[in-house]
């Protein structure tokens, strides 16, 4: 990696050195660099061509796009040179080389032109090492393109922008493919065989969706910036023609065709911008639909849980009702089976057998005996019952203090009024007050 970076710096140094050397035999001089030149070369470019040092500053290098034009007078106070600086950024999707690499890339384009009346132009381009871009830039040396660029100072921008417009188009389509993939993934269950379980839980990749949405927003921003940049180029070109029309009398066709080309580029960029905005809307629709699908699935699950709970509740009620039926008899049985009650035959009491009964199932006469200490049962049962109720009440109040609810803060007078008030209007008023308190629309003040 370090060796590759050093090689890029060396190539930049060679290109700038060659660019700064006078070439009287060439009327168009081109330099393509892939990194910032050294401070010495930056100063040399400023001294020879007027390329501002701020062109290499951080805020201009990281700007999403801008355009500027400057005139430099000659000793006779006429136009000596006309310079322009242009910068654009393009964000494209790409297939990551490995799982931890980025799935997108920034294409940077910085263009500087130095045009001198009389047919000489210097072009410095700072960009990536994309082969297609380099091939397009090298075609500036072809005769038709070079002739246009030497006759009109804005023909270079018009020519390079034609390639950048194609890059913007490719950028929008690359993100369109990502958005379309989400749409296809959503439609897959409907196109599969009937054996597919359509009730399975939806599992949208929200994080991935929002990542793509972020990139599409950047793409839209870059297109809007590019449109503003082209507008600035058209305005500056119009102003240049107005101020220097006498210098371009022999370039009638170039001065007419360059604005036409720029307007054409702008119309394409506006179309791509609308397409990018449509991608944002489509992706936003997919995100909302994914949320709705998950919510709908959760609602169906909640309904099934409620139905199962209702069934369990019915079973519980049945069991509770059966227990309620047997509870009184169980209590009576338990009470009379204690040692406080005793059923003894008469033979056990006076030593005689007695006369068998002829009217009852019991053939042996018996006596029903209740202990005179039966009060002990109530002496323990009643206090223990009251103590249990007291402990339960304390525990309930403690839980309500730790986890308060609106219903716990309702005054008891209001609760009793809602249940036992003799007048229906009063009961309705109390009930309305209870509802307002539970909904948080009313303070729990005195009733």
Domain membership of residue 394 (yes or no) is no
Q: What is the pLDDT of residue 188?
A: 73
Q: What is the pLDDT of residue 405?
A: 60
- Look at residue 303 and tell me whether its pLDDT is greater than 60: yes
| Mean pLDDT in residue range 135-142 | 92
| Mean pLDDT in residue range 81-97 | 90
Statement to judge: residues 287 and 149 lie in one domain:
yes
Q: What is the pLDDT of residues 109-123, one digit of tens each?
A: 999 999 998 789 999
Q: What is the pLDDT of residue 273?
A: 97
| Residue-averaged pLDDT of the chain | 84
Token pair of 229, please? 């940049």
DSSP code for 108: E
Q: What is the pLDDT of residue 159?
A: 95
- Look at residue 375 and tell me whether its pLDDT is greater than 60: yes
Q: What is the pLDDT of residue 371?
A: 85
Q: Comparing 97 with 438, which gets the higher pLDDT?
A: 97
Residue 246 neighbours by CB distance under 10 Å: 7
- Look at residue 408 and tell me whether its pLDDT is greater than 70: no
- Look at residue 308 and tell me whether its pLDDT is greater than 90: no
Least confident of 85-99, 197-211, 233-247, 345-359: 345-359
| Mean pLDDT in residue range 189-196 | 47
Statement to judge: residues 39 and 148 lie in one domain:
yes
In three-state secondary structure terms, 323 is helix
Domain membership of residue 430 (yes or no) is yes
Q: What is the pLDDT of residues 222-277, one digit of tens each?
A: 999 999 999 999 999 999 988 888 877 777 788 889 999 999 999 999 999 999 99
Q: How many domains does the chain have?
A: 2
169 within 8 A of 259, measured Cβ to Cβ? no
Return d(Cα 85, Cα 157) in angstroms, integer.
Answer: 10
Q: What is the pLDDT of residue 193?
A: 45
189 within 8 A of 196, measured Cβ to Cβ? yes
Statement to judge: residues 103 and 211 lie in one domain:
yes
pLDDT band at 212 (very low <50, low <70, confident <90, very high): very high
Q: What is the pLDDT of residues 162-171, one digit of tens each?
A: 999 999 999 9
- Strands in 65-73's sheet, in edge-to-edge order, are 28-33, 120-127, 104-116, 79-93, 65-73
Question: Of all helices (H) and strands (E), which one includes residue 114?
Answer: strand 104-116
pLDDT band at 100 (very low <50, low <70, confident <90, very high): confident
Statement to judge: residues 230 and 81 lie in one domain:
yes
Least confident of 49-63, 93-107, 174-188, 334-348: 334-348
Domain membership of residue 447 (yes or no) is yes
Q: What is the pLDDT of residues 313-354, one digit of tens each?
A: 888 888 888 888 888 888 888 888 888 888 777 665 555 555
Question: Of all helices (H) and strands (E), which one includes residue 259?
Answer: helix 252-336
Q: What is the pLDDT of residue 35?
A: 92
| Mean pLDDT in residue range 59-83 | 90
Name, in order, each residue with C-beta under 8 angstroms of 71's C-beta and a sequence gap of 6 or more. Answer: 79, 81, 82
Q: Comparing 355 with 179, which gets the higher pLDDT?
A: 179
Q: What is the pLDDT of residue 171?
A: 95
Return d(Cα 233, Cα 420) in angstroms, integer.
Answer: 84
Return d(Cα 281, Cα 189) in angstroms, integer.
Answer: 23
| Mean pLDDT in residue range 28-44 | 93
- Look at residue 402 and tell me whether its pLDDT is greater than 90: no
pLDDT band at 438 (very low <50, low <70, confident <90, very high): low
| Mean pLDDT in residue range 405-429 | 65
Domain membership of residue 53 (yes or no) is yes
Q: What is the pLDDT of residue 417?
A: 64
| Mean pLDDT in residue range 354-365 | 57
Domain membership of residue 118 (yes or no) is yes
Question: Of all helices (H) and strands (E), which one includes residue 331?
Answer: helix 252-336
Q: What are the b/e assignments for 366-395, b being 16+ CB within 10 Å?
A: beeeeeeeeeeeeeeeeeeeeeeeeeeeee
Question: Of all helices (H) and strands (E), which one includes residue 395?
Answer: helix 375-402
Domain membership of residue 249 (yes or no) is yes
Statement to judge: residues 293 and 430 lie in one domain:
no
The domain in which residue 440 lies consists of 404-447
Greatest alpha-carbon pair distance for the chain in Å reads: 157
Please, which residues bridge with residue 125 across strands? 32, 111
DSSP of 42-98? HHHHHHHH---GGGGSHHHHS-SEEEEEEEEE-TTSSEEEEEEEEEEEEEEE---SS
Statement to judge: residues 300 and 411 lie in one domain:
no
| Mean pLDDT in residue range 75-96 | 90
Q: Comparing 416 with 367, which gets the higher pLDDT?
A: 367
Q: Which of 251, 277, 304 is the last residue of a domain?
A: 304
Statement to judge: residues 129 and 262 lie in one domain:
yes
Q: Which of 304, 330, 359 is the last residue of a domain?
A: 304
| Mean pLDDT in residue range 116-145 | 91
Token pair of 213, please? 């949405």
Q: What is the pLDDT of residue 61?
A: 92
Q: Which of 304, 336, 359 is the last residue of a domain?
A: 304
Domain membership of residue 79 (yes or no) is yes
Q: What is the pLDDT of residue 363?
A: 60
Q: Which of 128, 202, 133 is nearest to 163 (CA)?
A: 133
Domain membership of residue 153 (yes or no) is yes
In three-state secondary structure terms, 343 is strand
- Look at residue 425 and tell me whether its pLDDT is greater than 70: yes
Q: What is the pLDDT of residue 370?
A: 84
Token pair of 89, please? 């950024």
Q: What is the pLDDT of residue 365?
A: 67
Statement to judge: residues 171 and 34 lie in one domain:
yes
Q: What is the pLDDT of residue 443?
A: 53
Statement to judge: residues 146 and 292 lie in one domain:
yes
| Mean pLDDT in residue range 101-116 | 92
Return d(Cα 293, Cα 230) in angstroms, integer.
Answer: 43
Return d(Cα 87, Cα 245) in angstroms, integer.
Answer: 27
- Look at residue 195 and tell me whether its pLDDT is greater than 50: no
In three-state secondary structure terms, 106 is strand
Q: Which of 166, 64, 78, 79 is nearest to 114 (CA)?
A: 79
């Amino acid at each position: 990696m370090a060796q590759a970076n050093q090689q890029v710096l060396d190539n930049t140094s060679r290109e700038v050195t060659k660019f700064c050397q006078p070439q009287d035999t060439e009327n168009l001089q081109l330099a393509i660099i892939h990194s910032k030149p050294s401070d010495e070369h930056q100063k040399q470019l400023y001294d020879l061509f007027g390329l501002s040092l701020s062109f290499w500053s951080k805020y201009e290098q990281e700007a999403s796009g801008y355009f500027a034009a400057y005139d430099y007078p000659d000793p006779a106070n006429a136009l000596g040179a006309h310079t322009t600086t242009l910068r654009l950024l393009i964000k494209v999707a790409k297939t990551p080389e490995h799982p931890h690499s980025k799935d997108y890339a920034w294409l940077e384009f910085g263009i500087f032109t130095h045009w001198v009346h009389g047919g000489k132009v210097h072009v410095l381009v700072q960009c990536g090492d994309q082969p297609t871009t380099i091939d397009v830039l090298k075609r500036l040396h072809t005769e038709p393109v070079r002739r246009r660029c030497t006759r009109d100072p804005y023909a270079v921008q018009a020519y390079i922008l034609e390639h950048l417009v194609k890059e913007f188009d490719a950028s929008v389509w690359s993100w369109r493919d990502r958005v379309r993939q989400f749409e296809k993934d959503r439609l897959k269950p409907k196109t599969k065989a009937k054996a597919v379980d359509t009730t399975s839980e939806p599992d949208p990749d929200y994080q991935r969706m929002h990542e793509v949405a972020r990139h599409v927003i950047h793409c839209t921003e870059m297109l809007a910036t590019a449109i503003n940049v082209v507008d600035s180029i058209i305005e500056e070109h119009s102003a240049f023609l107005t101020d220097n029309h006498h210098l371009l009398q022999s370039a009638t066709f170039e001065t007419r065709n360059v604005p036409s080309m720029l307007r054409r580029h702008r119309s394409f960029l506006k179309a791509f911008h609308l397409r990018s905005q449509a991608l944002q809307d489509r992706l936003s629709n997919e995100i909302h639909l994914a949320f709705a699908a998950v919510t709908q699935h959760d609602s169906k699950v909640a309904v099934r849980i409620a139905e199962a709970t209702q069934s369990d509740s019915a079973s519980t009620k049945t069991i509770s009702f059966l227990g309620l039926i047997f509870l009184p008899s169980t209590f009576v049985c338990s009470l009379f089976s204690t040692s406080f009650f005793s059923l003894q035959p008469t033979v056990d009491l006076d030593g005689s057998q007695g006369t068998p009964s002829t009217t009852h199932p019991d053939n042996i006469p018996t006596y029903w005996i209740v202990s005179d200490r039966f009060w002990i049962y109530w002496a323990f049962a009643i206090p223990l019952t009251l103590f249990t109720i007291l402990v339960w009440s304390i525990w309930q109040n403690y839980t309500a203090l730790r986890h308060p609810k609106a219903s716990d803060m309702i005054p008891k007078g209001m609760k009793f009024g809602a249940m036992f008030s003799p007048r229906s209007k009063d009961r309705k008023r109390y009930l309305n007050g209870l509802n307002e308190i539970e909904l948080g629309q009313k303070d729990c003040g005195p009733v």
